[in-house]
Each structure stands twice: as C-alpha cells, then as structure tokens.
Amino acid sequence: MMRSTFFLILLAVVDGAASIKNDTSNREKRDAVLIRSKRRWVLSTIDLEENMPGPYPSIVTQMYNDKKQENVKFRIRGQGVTEKPFGLFSIDENSGIVHVHRPIDREEYHFFHLDFDVLDKKTDDLVDKTLAFDVEIKDKNDNRPEFPLSTIRVSVPENTPEGVLQATLQAHDNDLKDTPNSEFTMSVVKQNPASPKFTIRDMPGTTRVKQLAFTGCFDYDKEKQYTVLVDAKDHGEPTMSSTATVILDITDYNTHPPEFSSATYNTEVMEMELKEILRIGITDKDTPNTPASRAVFSILKGNEELNYKIETDPKTNEGVLTVIKGKNFEKTEITELEIAVENEQKLFQCVDGKPVIGTRPKPNTAKVAVKVTDVNDPPVFKNQVEKVYRNENGPKGDVLFVPQVQDEDSDINKLRYELVEDPAKWVSLDRKTGKITTVETMDRESPFVKNGIYTLVVHSIDDGKPPATGTCTVLVYLGDLNDNAPYLISKNMVMCGNKVDRVDVTPRDLDSPPFANPFSFFLGGEEKLKSLWKLDPTTGTNTSLISLTSLPYGNYSIPLKIQDQQGLQSEDVLQVVVCECTRINTCRGRLPFSSRLGPAAIGLLFAGLLLMAFLLFCFYCDCKSMSCQHIPLNLQDEGIQTLSKYNEEGGRSIYKPEFPITDGYRKVENGMQGSSAGVSVKSRECAD
C-alpha cells in the first residue's frame, strides 16, 4: 500500500454558516490538531456546543487525503451515524466535509466516537487504515435547578423552639457537574404571614441539602398555617431558577392552662362508705381531646391518710372524686380538700413573638368540702376468725368459745348473738353472751368436717337504728382418735379362673395417720383354708388374695382380719366368684331361657293350627255319618301300665362353695345329670 496521509481540519461555525480558508491557513490549522504517529494520524477531540441555534445541517470539520481527490471517497461510522442516535452526523464522500443535522442536548448525549475511512471510488477498497475522532458536546446553561416536589407539607408543633425545622429542601441541576451551570443558591423569597422569620441553612455534612429555619415562636391561636416560597438559582450565564412552596401546618400545643368551673365545691358521704362522691368540671381553650386539653387532677391538701383519689373521666374530661378508704368518725365532720388541675402537656406560651422560658405558672386550684356523716358502727369481735382446738368424741357440754366484742356506738350489754352456721347441729349458743357449748359428740370423720376443721359462724347484733351486725368465724380443729377400724372397700370380687389366680384386696380407714395404714392382713376361719388361699403382702396399704390350687368354678366366702397401725382390728368376709371370663372381671353367662320367634316361625305355627282344625272337622263329620263306639278308659281293666323314674345326682366336691351358684354363672366341674321317665299307655281304637 502506498503511503498516504489523512488531514483533518476543524472549522468554526459562526452565525450558522461555514467558510473554508485558503490552503495555507488550512494547513496551519491542521498542524495544530494533528499528531503524526508512524503511518497514521491520531486526531484530537472536536468540541461542539450543545443546542446550537443552526441553521442545519452545519459544518463540523473537513477531512483531506494526499492522494488524488478524484480517485478516493470518504465514509464515517459510529455513534450518530450507524448507531443511536441515527442520522445525527454525515460526510460528503467527495469533499470530506462532516455535517451535524440537528441540535444536540448534552444532558442526553455528551460524547461521540466516530471512525472514518478513505476508499477507492472504483473498487471500494480501503486505501489506508481506519482512523477515528471524538466529538465532545460543550455544556450550555440550559437547565434550571429542579425541586423533587413543587409543594412540601410539614406539621410543626406549636411549642417548637426556634432554630432548624424538620423540613428539608433538595434540588438538582442537570447541567455539567461542578460548573457554575449546575451550582445553585437556595433562599426564601416570600412567606405568609411575615412572623416568625424563615431562612435557609445548610444541612450539616452536605451543601446539596438545605433546611428551613426560623427565629421567634408560633402561636396556634393566631396563625395555624404558614406558606414559604423557596427559590433555587444557578450560577450560569444566563442564570436560571425554580421555586418550591413549603406549607407549615401548626399543631396545637398546651398554651392555655385549664380552669375549674367553680372555686369551691361541696359534697357529703356516709362514714366507711366507699364510692364516687363528686364530679368536677373544667374549661380549657386548647384543642379538645388532645394532650393539650386533657386534664390531670391531683389532691394537694386534706388527703394525708389517702382516703380519697381523683381521676379524669376520659369521655367528659371531668375530675371524679372517690372515697377509697373509709374512716370511722364518732360524730359528723367536714373534711376540706384542695384540688389542682393541669394538662398532660407542659404549658408553653409565646408572648410578643418570643417564647416564655424558665417560668412555670402555678396550676389552678379549687376547694372541696366533704361532709362525712356518722353512722351506727357494727360490733367488732376481737378476732374476726377464732381458732379452737379439741379432740373428736369429746364430752357434751364442753365450752368451745366465749366472744370478746367492742362497740363504740352501742351498749355492749344490749348486744344479742345468733348462730348463723352449724351444719351438724353439734353446738348451742347463748344469745346474751355468745358462749358456744357442745350438745353432741363431734366426729372428725363426719362429712361436715373439712380437712379436720368444723366451721361455725356467729353474728353479734347491736340495738342501733338500723341495727348493725358484726361477724366472727370459729374454726374448730378436731384432733383425730383411733375410733374407726379398717373395712373393705369392696366385699365382692370376681376371679377369672381361666386367666389369673388372684384378686386385689383394698381396705380403708376413716382415721388419719398414725391410726390408719399400713395395715396387717390375716386369713380367718379354718386352718384348711390356708391350704387353698394366701394373702401377699401381709402388711401395707393393700394386699392380694391368691389361690394356691386350681379351684372349681363357684362362689367362695373368705373370712379376713385387718388391723390398722395401732392394732385396732376388724373382721370381714370377702365373697369371691371363680369363673370363666369373657372380659375383665366378667363371667361367661348362661344360655337364654327363651327364644323369640321370627315371622317365618309364626307363619308355620298358624299353618299347623289350621291343618289340625281341618282334620278335627273331618273327623267330626265322619263320626256323625258312622256309628262310633265309646272307648273305655279304665286302664286297670285293660292291662298293666308302668311309670319308671330315673334320677341320679353326683356327690359334692370338697371345694364346693357353701351356697349354690347364682344366675349368670355356669357350673363347669359339678354338672347335674339329666333325669328321664317313661309312660306306656294302651288304648282302643274306634270300631267301624
């Protein structure tokens, strides 16, 4: 390939028209922008101003080749030609002049890379290697700073201290970063109302984000909303700007102290009565049902013994005064309370545009006179619960309790007593003195005694108007004695002879330790009984009766002796049924004694009866038509008849129980043999 050189000239675009200087001046310009490197020219970047006013197409540059111009043609490719955005650049293949066809927005495309070639006009073959040049779009201040939101709304509490608000402002300029075209200043250009004064401050750590600040204070009663117009202006030429509106909604805070509807109140209550006695209303100019207006009451004086409390009704905002602890008065008295009221929020005040700091006014107070009326107090037992200790089975006439009573309003000698609770009717009560005396023997094992305690309730009634009643509960703790022998919980047991050889024996003793278990167990009756049965274990809370040999099925009576821990003995008989079981402790039953006929059997029975009736009818008709001779029934004259009875029964086994097996059990070992009887009767037939 012949050595050839490309030349590139950058042409200035003035008033939308391009002019090409003479060859000498052009070569001087080429030398300024071209750098020789071996056999290729490396081209510098061409600057192009964004959004040029035109006209279009406009000349960008021109390319030359040192070969004869009439033998070559030029071609470019890349961004803006064969790649997006298409149709932006073109080249005259004969002259090598590069054109731009429309304005370019730098914020959309700020840089282009283009390749160009020189080709033989006849063969389209490359006559040199591909070279490239770049086009950089120079920024123009054509973008204004923009706020993300044109309107910003912020809620600000009325008591906010002067300084920075929680209202951040941020804007962005799409022009070239870190140039005057993209740098801007933010300021307050307008506000309504005029006070307090708003300004713009930088957020610490950044210059891009701003904060709204103010000096002074807010007064919700005067202004509930502020409108601030903020302007963002860039530093480019010419300057461009935009605005955003900040709306500040002031929320009410406690700026008005609550006040009582009246300075004094009067109420009354019976002594020792616990209830609500007064409702106290207030007025508050702050917004209702907010912490700014909700009342908080307190009792400053007169409640040293904590007899009263005052709370706020959440629905009405009233103070509810209640007696929570009664006090006994000997006569009617008046108690004076001092009540104060404040709000849930601390009081905040803005005076002449300045917040009041450091001074807190005293809360509003009112006086409440409580008239406590004396009432007849009931008699008071020395102890409301008295404990008395006795052993069970004690003698009758034992004095269990003599009450000690005081009554500040009545004569003690005029008190009367009543026995309110005596479920077993074991005691009597002296109505004048309240003395309790036993009239029956008290049994600790009685169902009226719970956990060893027998409970009595006594009332003492004075002669006041109306009469008042005092109550005393007497708990009689009964000590246990060994007065109950052990007994069997169940005296009838079933031993499944085809499955087990024993039954469980469980005794009970109504006494408490040490007069109850562990028990000692013995077999009673004859000595031969011990060769058939045994008890194991012989001591403990329960035992098992074990058969020592295979027993015939039947009923057995086993005498037992049981002693408690102290040796108190009882004798009992355990009835044991030995049988074949089909289920647990359930003997196999006898076959049923009767059967139920089905519909088919009943039909056959009726058919047989009808046939018999028909035969009798035929016999009757035959006898009427023929002479029938009477047949004598004198059996003695007709010969000898014989009735033989056979009835044999086997002997009893030595293990046979003392009484026959009851219905429901089947005897297996010793069955009954059947009996039979035969009767022979001769008779005379009817003669023809």
Strands (E), 357-482: 364-373, 380-381, 385-391, 399-401, 405-406, 416-421, 427-429, 436-438, 453-461, 469-479
Judged against a pLDDT cut of 80, whether residue 74 lies above it is answered with yes
Instruction: Please give the average per-residue pLDDT across 577-594, as a whole number.
Output: 75
Query: Which residues does residue 460 pair with via DSSP β-bridges, in sequence order?
Result: 417, 470
Which of 257, 265, 304 is CA-nearest to residue 285? 257
Give backbone dihedrals phi and psi of 12, rounded to 5 degrees, phi first: -85, 145
The pLDDT value given to residue 262: 93
Average pLDDT of 9-14? 32
How is residue 445 written in tokens? 């094992």
pLDDT the model gives residue 18: 34
Contact present, 103 and 163 (Cβ < 8 Å): no
For the segment 144-171, the average pLDDT, to the nearest whole number, is: 91
Those residues whose C-beta lies under 8 Å from the C-beta of residue 204, and which sit 6 or more positions away, are none
Strand 72-78: give its sheet, edge to edge: 46-49, 131-138, 111-120, 72-78
Q: What pLDDT, on the 0 to 100 scale, is given for residue 105?
A: 84
pLDDT at 677 (0 to 100): 30
pTM summary value: 0.45
When mean pLDDT is compared across 132-146, 177-191, 666-680, the lowest value belongs to 666-680
List all residues 6 or more positions away from 558 whose beta carbon is below 8 Å from its beta carbon: 523, 525, 529, 533, 545, 573, 574, 575, 576
Mean pLDDT of 115-135: 83
Q: What is the pLDDT of residue 237?
A: 87
The CA distance from 40 to 67, in Å, is 15
SS (H, E, C) 566-616: CCCEEEEEEEEEEECEEECCEECCCCCCCCCCCHHHHHHHHHHHHHHHHHH
Contact 620, 531 (CB under 8 A): no
Q: From CA 28, how far away is CA 378, in angstroms rounded?
A: 129
Q: Confirm if 638 and 526 have CB atoms less than 8 A apart.
A: no
pLDDT confidence tier of residue 12, bands split at 50, 70 and 90? very low
Host H or E run for residue 336: strand 333-343
What pLDDT shows up at residue 643? 40
Average pLDDT over residues 87-94: 85
pLDDT band at 590 (very low <50, low <70, confident <90, very high): low
Tell me the average pLDDT across 528-535: 87
Alpha-carbon distances of 581 from 29, 497, 588, rounded to whole Å: 129, 7, 5
Mean pLDDT of 28-47: 48
Q: Average pLDDT of the chain?
A: 80
User: pLDDT: is 599 or 8 the higher one?
Assistant: 599
For residue 535, is pLDDT > 70? yes
- Mean pLDDT within 62-71: 70
pLDDT confidence bin for 584, thresholds 50/70/90 = confident
- The three-class DSSP label of residue 80 is coil
Quote the distance between the C-alpha of residue 144 and its chain's center. 57
pLDDT at 39: 40
Number of H helices, E strands in the chain: 3, 51
- The amino acid that residue 268 corresponds to is E
Q: Give the per-residue pLDDT at 676.
A: 30
pLDDT tens sequence across 185-239 = 899 999 999 889 999 998 887 777 899 999 999 999 899 999 999 999 988 888 9
- Give the percent of the chain with pLDDT over 70: 81
